[in-house]
Structure 1
Amino acid sequence: MEATTTKTGFEKYPAYKDSGVEWLGEVPEHWEVVKLKRLFHEVKKRTNVELNCGSISFGKVIFKDDEKIPEATKKSYQVVLKGDFLVNPLNLNYDLISLRIALSEIDVVVSSGYIVLHNSVSLDKNYFKWLLHRFDVAYMKVLGSGVRQTLNFNDIGNSDIVLPLIAEQTAIANFLDRKIELIDQAIAQKEKQIELLKERRQVLINKAVTRGLDPDVPLKDSGVEWIGEIPEHWEVKRLKYITTKIGSGVTPSGGGTSYLDSGIPLLRSQNILFGKIDLEGVAFISDKTHNSMNNSKVYKGDVLLNITGGSIGRCHFVELDLPLNVNQHVCIVRPSEDVLTVFLNGLLASNVGQGQIWFNQQGGGREGLNFQSLKNFSLPLPPIAEQAKISLYIEDFSKRTYDAISSKQNEIEKLKEYKATLINSAVTGKIKVN
């Protein structure tokens, strides 16, 4: 039987058979379907305290350089050598993102919770790097479904995988190494372009809210070191004098148990991003709880600012006219009639606002910004008519920037989908490579 080609132009094998394994589907007729334990065995070598500690991070074995592990604990660790496969079989019930199998390129020691695999037969490890990647993504989480949270070697070893001829293994591995490197480079380039778009937007907003739109306007010293020169007809005012409210919410009584599947959105720090308020994954509270938290009700035109944790300083304004509330990690900054919402948000997101946030953090190990410090922020302020022009400029440029970013993100998603399809097609024999 002659070989055929796919719609994408890749050659197919002459004949296929049903593998009997859902995630593999049809495989080339001459390929074997075998138990993983026929090809790999578990290794439990202990220990070499001279080696650095390691772990898996998104499909790679990495050093944990800054982790201080007592020598007594380290002695219970197991050795992973370059060329071994490391499997993280833990917490499959809630961690659905991490890639859990990696071909190690370094010598490390890892905790006894990991599974270390060494090949029992001659094979191309680079091919199995890609096959086990597919096994991880397509099937490993199925093994850990239901009440099972952790796997052992028997679970993995009794799973079915394919075994091409070793020459085919090498051809597939070389093909994927080349192709995936090119795809990853394209993704990295687009991610860099997104960062450059964000940086350009930030530069232009910084300039707009501190110097205005007229490049020839006369300047004066603002009298504030971190603001520098401003247009001579502008003022510098403290935030408390251009707002009617600065305050946060509280965690509802009962904490997370009070959250509902629907109701009034309760905005938390993860919902407040630069450039938008993200309602994906938002918590909901009842009307009764919402009304009991009257002081932290949110209205259209409010600027919301994260005041604790790693996302401190992220801010955006409320564009939706619907009932909303916030918890204690989000501050409501409600503008007075002296400042427009978009302009105020631009000030807080600018280097002037973010610099003061950074300088005034309180709380030792956990970053935090108190209301008194926030109220005393010094900010440049043009007349309201000029604020309106600057706000329109910010909104127009931001829309064009975010449209461009969205386009790049869509391109990245398509590349990632193509990457996943290519890996699956190659390692399971849906396409024949040379």
Structure 2
Amino acid sequence: MIDELGPYSAMKDSGAEWLGEVPVHWKVVKLRRYNQVFAGATPSRAIPEYWDGGTIPWLASGDVNLRRIIGAKQFITQAGHTASSTKWIRPRSLVLALAGQGRTKGMVATIECWTTCNQSLAAIEPSPRMSDHNFLAYYLQSRYLDIRSLVGDGLRDGLNLEHVRAIPTPLPPLPEQTAITRFLDHTTSKIECYIRAKEKLISLLEEQKQAIIHQAVTGQIDVRTGQPYPAYKPSGVEWLGNVPVNWEIQRAKRLFSLRTEKSGSAHGLELLSIYTHIGVRPRKDLEEKGNKASTTDDYWIVKPGDLITNKLLAWMGAIGVSHYYGVTSPAYDILMPIVDLESDYYHLLFRTPTYLQQFKQYSRGIMDMRLRLYFDQFGQIPVTVPRIEDQQAIVEFCDKSTIRVNDNIQRTIRQVDLLREYRTRLIADVITGKVDVREAAAELPQIDSETHEYGENSILSEPHSLNTRHDKEQEARL
């Protein structure tokens, strides 16, 4: 689609490194020139009257992940609003995360309701006479990495309001902004439909893969024949049901013990981590440079054949076999086989939905995200123990039987990545004037009226000033 769009007839230097050249009739101005930018505040959590029974919408920095906010998850009272310096944000505004964990910092969301926010969000109220808020949102979202680069990547390296106010922005004529926004809404929604279809396919392929593995590791089929085993017996465990007659049932503590061998300092060993979807991998291969451990002194030694368990996330699949000799965080448990077994079989078994449910039930904690599976509880879980030759045959069968499914999953993941890259490039090229979409936008189906899905508490009945005088003053300066 990008290749089918032509350039503007005349370009000029924007004077901003982020933008390069822009169409000659576009303005390039700092964000402060046509927006009010301010931060919110957080009423004291120690005073219940500021929160209990609140009706005033209030946003936290993590809410920017919604990208389009039509209602708040949290509310403060009038007393909380009065006692703090938080301010009302009008609809058709934006919020930008000044700080936050992970990818949050620098993210932008549009606001489609009256709300307030905390001090880690910058509210951006564009002049409606000069800016389409959706156009500005597309632009700021496309400059996510540039915005983050204004400060470091550490949690303490937060943006401030002056950083935001000084962001250089393109400012086409308002009707052109609207046309660009309309074009991007149309095209990106089609791309999102393609992405959702591919992600659904990935989910179905994963289910197919898990069904193959589950049947094999639980003894529903004999992998040598593809048929059920000749005879079964009660396992004595309700959730396990029947198992092949030559299989045993043992407590996990009869098969594994904790390896608590420390690495010492200056060991030079590979730092390993456990991931819910792919198992154990060297951390350097998968995580950003800024996310490395500051030191790995006195970490746990991990040997090939050991299983690493993330106690906090075991019930979500963070358990798996290591094929590496290395070290890992003391926050993890290292399960060392103490009998002759095939570790890859237990890697497959422990990652089935049946065992993940048991891990959750045996975990201790007051809420899901606080659950921890300690070894004394893990050791009580009944596990199937096929003969060693059966374990090896099951692993070989699962490897061979899922090759095609794995290939299809990886191929589809690559397609999703390419679609996302294409969407990113399309938005960046269109929003900075590298391609002219005015004619393409004019040919799109007409929409009678703009509609939004507002939540029950999204819009307050009390009218608030749109500060039109401020808008006129900004327009005059431009």
TM over 0.5: yes
Pair 1:88-2:97 in alignment: yes
Question: CA–CA distance in 1 between the matches of 2:357 and 2:386?
Answer: 20
One-letter code aligned to 1:9: E
One-letter code aligned to 2:377: S
Partner SS for 1:332: strand
What do the CA deviations read for 1:197-232 (whole angstroms, capped 9, x no partner)?
Answer: 222222222211112334342332222101001223
Pair 110,373 (structure 1): closer, same or farther in 2 beyond 3 Å = same
Report what 2:448 is aligned to: none
Report what 1:36 is aligned to: 31
Give the conservation status (yes or no) of the 8 Å contact 1:83–1:105: yes
Question: CA–CA distance in 2 between the matches of 1:45 and 1:100?
Answer: 16
Report what 2:20 is aligned to: 25
Q: Percent identity?
A: 26
Question: CA–CA distance in 2 between the matches of 1:397 and 1:381?
Answer: 22
Report what 1:350 is aligned to: 352
Report what 2:279 is aligned to: 276
Pair 1:143-2:154 in alignment: no
One-letter code aligned to 1:204: I
Report what 2:112 is aligned to: 105
Give the conservation status (yes or no) of the 8 Å contact 1:41–1:119: yes
Partner residue of 2:205 out of 197, 210, 216? 197
Question: CA–CA distance in 2 between the matches of 1:297 and 1:220?
Answer: 39
Question: CA–CA distance in 1 between the matches of 2:102 and 2:19?
Answer: 23
Partner residue of 2:9 out of 9, 14, 19? 14
Pair 20,54 (structure 1): closer, same or farther in 2 beyond 3 Å = same
Question: CA–CA distance in 1 between the matches of 2:174 and 2:2?
Answer: 27
Give the conservation status (yes or no) of the 8 Å contact 1:238–1:376: yes
Give the TM-score normalised by the residue count of structure 2: 0.75
Pair 18,251 (structure 1): closer, same or farther in 2 beyond 3 Å = farther
Pair 70,189 (structure 1): closer, same or farther in 2 beyond 3 Å = same
Question: CA–CA distance in 1 between the matches of 2:261 and 2:336?
Answer: 17
Once the two structures are TM-superposed, the CA of residue 15 in structure 1 deviates from its matched residue by 1.4
Report what 2:176 is aligned to: 168
Question: CA–CA distance in 1 between the matches of 2:11 and 2:173?
Answer: 15
Once the two structures are TM-superposed, the CA of residue 422 in structure 1 deviates from its matched residue by 0.6
One-letter code aligned to 1:390: I
Pair 1:381-2:385 in alignment: yes
Unaligned segments of structure 2, at least 5 residues: 44-49, 440-478
One-letter code aligned to 1:133: Q
Unaligned segments of structure 1, at least 5 residues: 1-5
What do the CA deviations read for 1:270-322 (whole angstroms, capped 9, x no partner)?
Answer: x3434331223464867xx56xx7xx4322122222223576652221223x3
Task: Map residues 151-190 of structure 1 onto 2, 5 A cutoff.
Answer: 151-190=159-198
Once the two structures are TM-superposed, the CA of residue 194 in structure 1 deviates from its matched residue by 2.0
Question: CA–CA distance in 1 between the matches of 2:381 and 2:95?
Answer: 51
What do the CA deviations read for 1:239-276 (whole angstroms, capped 9, x no partner)?
Answer: 233x2x421548989xxxx7x8x9223445xx343433
Question: CA–CA distance in 1 between the matches of 2:98 and 2:77?
Answer: 24
Partner SS for 2:426: helix
Question: CA–CA distance in 2 between the matches of 1:354 and 1:53?
Answer: 36
Report what 1:215 is aligned to: 227
Pair 401,301 (structure 1): closer, same or farther in 2 beyond 3 Å = farther
CA RMSD of aligned residues (A): 3.3
Partner residue of 2:237 out of 191, 199, 224? 224
Once the two structures are TM-superposed, the CA of residue 38 in structure 1 deviates from its matched residue by 2.5
Aligned residues: 407
Partner SS for 1:8: helix
One-letter code aligned to 1:237: Q
Task: Map residues 274-353 of structure 1 onto 2, 5 A cutoff.
Answer: 274-280=277-283, 281=287, 283=293, 289=297, 296-309=300-313, 313-320=317-324, 322=325, 324-353=326-355
Give the TM-score normalised by the residue count of structure 1: 0.82
Question: CA–CA distance in 2 between the matches of 1:427 and 1:134?
Answer: 8
Question: CA–CA distance in 1 between the matches of 2:414 and 2:363?
Answer: 36
Pair 1:394-2:402 in alignment: no
Partner SS for 1:52: strand
Pair 43,380 (structure 1): closer, same or farther in 2 beyond 3 Å = closer
Once the two structures are TM-superposed, the CA of residue 140 in structure 1 deviates from its matched residue by 1.9
Decide which moves more: 231-240 or 173-182.
231-240
Partner residue of 1:73 out of 77, 80, 83? 80
Decide which moves more: 384-393 or 10-19.
384-393
